[in-house]
Amino acid sequence: MVEKTKTLRILLNKAKQGSKKYSAKRAIRMIKLQIKKHSRTPLEKIRLSKGINEHVWQNGSYNLPRQIEIEIVPDKETTRAFLKETKEKESFFKEQKKAEEKVKKKEKEAKKEEIEKTAEEKKAEEEEKAEQEKKLEEKRLKESMTEKSGFK
């Protein structure tokens, strides 16, 4: 199912420079910038998994891991990033596949309903035509009766 994955090892030692209070935020930003560099997608369309965020923040804002290994997966419009060691990627794609199957089932049901409606509409049209024909016949009979009797 996973087509084009790319593995990256990102060193987070530069995120520790400067104010330590913001080093975890800086690390997240660095990860996104590296993904942008390698996948050529804008920052707004890059999605990090929950696992990456938890891995960076596990020891707090001050104590970062030295490096992080991630897998980049291009998704329809976005680029998704997952930790390499976890099974997040497989579970994400399973959920996505289930959602697609639900959409397909709903589309099939909608098509069946449309087919049933069209069949019902055809039956209703045929009944209306039959009623109109009966009314025309009755009118013709009345006209023929009035002509025979001589009344106008």
Radius of gyration of the chain (CA): 34
Backbone angles phi, psi at 18, to 5 degrees: 85, -155
The CATH H-level (homologous superfamily) assignment of domain 6-86 is Ribosomal protein L31 (3.10.440.10)
> What's residue 2's pLDDT?
47
For the stretch 87-124, pLDDT in tens is 888 888 888 889 889 999 999 888 888 888 787 888 88
> What's residue 93's pLDDT?
84
CA distance to 11, 35, 57, 64, per residue, from 28 (Å)? 12, 11, 9, 11
Instruction: Average pLDDT across each block of 10 residues of the chain; the chain has 152 residues. List them in order.
Output: 80 91 94 94 94 94 93 90 88 88 90 81 85 88 77 56
**Residues facing residue 9 across a β-bridge:** 69
Spatial separation of the C-alpha atoms in residues 11 and 71, rounded to whole Å? 14
Give the burial class of 91: count Cβ atoms within 10 A of its Cβ; 0-12 exposed, 13-18 middle, 19 or more buried.
Answer: exposed
Q: Where are the domains of the chain?
A: 6-86, 102-152
Alpha helices in the chain (DSSP H): 23-39, 50-57, 88-149
